[in-house]
Every structure is written in structure tokens, then in C-alpha cells.
Amino acid sequence: MTTANETPRPAIPFSEALAQDICARVEGGESLRSICAPREMPGAATVHRWAAIRPDFRERLRRAQGLARAGHEDAHRRAQADRAWKRQRPWARPDAYRPQIGETICRALAGGMSLLEICAMEGMPVTGTVYEWLRNHDDFARLYRRARRMQADVLADRAWEIAQAATPETLKVARLQFDVIRWRATRVAPKAYRDDEEEDEPRGFEVYVQDFSTGEILSGPRHVGPGGR
């Protein structure tokens, strides 16, 4: 997509050299979004279109993505093993994580409390410690993600109660509370509560005419939407 003030991205045809470069960079750990960000590269939508019509490229891209995921997982496991080894050394700072405390934090989050409120309670760790636990303990991280999704449901219920209780006299305050709570829900569970139609400003998009049997761009780009026709 482009805005009205942007020059449309030039159409870039498929080439074997470009396909090899993209797959190699994906395998090296780069995201497709970052690879396709420069204007001299094809957009991510174009790369997905290539994969849809070119089975050989699709298989290479999938293999590269699988190898990248495996590399990330191996690096994570090595980092965890290294941290575990360091914690066992006499000079290491002991790991303060306790499953009971982690469960208490997650129950409070699921009940609608913020992490700042929880960490201000007596006997609770500071927020920096909680984030360190999330990096070092997969079991706690899983509980935490589940608790955040449940927290979003509680926030949505609160927003509904505020909307139901609003009166003409309290409408402005209720609207502010509703918007803030909805924003928090989209932050803790974006897939469930984000409004995909919300945009900072109207956007247009580029239209190409392509021969899907060869991948050749026949015409375009043509900007449609704000600033286009």
C-alpha cells in the first residue's frame, strides 16, 4: 500500500537470482517484511504471489522458513542452557523464580490487574524480574500469555459495563474510559480485539495486471484509493 504522497513502488519481475537471495536471507533469520522493505526489492505481497504460482520457489521459501525457525529454536535452547549453567556456578546470582509466585502473578493478570499493580504488592517481584522470568522460563511464559488473553476478556467485559451504565451526563467520561480499556484489550490480545478497519488515515493501494502463468507484470502499478482513481 502507498499513501497519496508516496511514489508507487516499481514493479519488479521474478528472477532466479532474486529468488535465491530472498530464500538465503530468510534462512539466515531475516523476516520477509524486512527483506521486502527497501523499494528496490519486491513487496511482500509480490513474493507471496510468486510462491503461489511457482511451486519450486514456494518449496524453497518454505524450506528456508523452516530452517530459520529451527535456528531460532536452537539459539533459544542454547541460551537457556547457558543461563542454567551460569546459575549453577558459585559466583552466579541465584534464580529467584518460584512457580507459586508465577502462578499468583498470572491469576492476578487474568483477573484484570495490571502488571504494575501486581508488582507493587508485598512479596511480589519488580517488573524487570518478571520480564527476566519470561525470558528464562518457558512454562511461566506460557502461563503469562494465557493470562493476558483472559485479561483481555475481562477488560472487554468492563468496557461493556461502562457502556451500559453510561448516561447523558457521564457520556464523555464513559467514552474516554471505554476507549482506554478497549486500547488495553487490543494491546494484550491484539488478534482478538484489534479493529482491522481502524487506520490512522485513509490509504490507497496499488493494482497490477499480471499473467499468472508466467508471473509477468502486464501493466501497472495503478494507484487506487486516496490520491488515485
Please write the tens of the pLDDT for every residue from 12-22.
Answer: 899 999 999 99
Closest CA to 85 of 95, 71, 96, 75: 95
Alpha-carbon gap, residue 198 to 201, rounded angstroms: 9
Alpha-carbon gap, residue 159 to 153, rounded angstroms: 10
pTM: 0.48
pLDDT tens digits in sequence order for the chain, 229 residues long: 444 455 677 788 999 999 999 999 999 989 988 999 998 899 888 999 999 999 999 999 999 999 988 888 787 777 767 766 666 666 555 667 889 999 999 999 999 898 999 999 998 999 999 998 898 888 899 999 999 989 988 888 888 888 888 888 888 888 888 888 878 777 777 765 555 444 444 444 555 555 555 555 555 555 554 444 4
Alpha-carbon gap, residue 89 to 80, rounded angstroms: 15
The 3-class SS string of 87-145 reads: HCCCCCCCCCCCHHHHHHHHHHHHCCCCHHHHHCCCCCCCHHHHHHHHHHCHHHHHHHH
Residue 40 and residue 11 in contact, taking contact as beta carbons nearer than 8 Å: no
Complete domains list, the chain, with CATH: 1-92 (1.10.10.60)
The pLDDT value given to residue 20: 93
Q: Is cis: bond before 221, omega within 30 of 0?
A: yes
User: Residue 218's beta-bridge partner residues?
Assistant: none
The pLDDT value given to residue 26: 92
Residue 97 and residue 137 in contact, taking contact as beta carbons nearer than 8 Å: yes
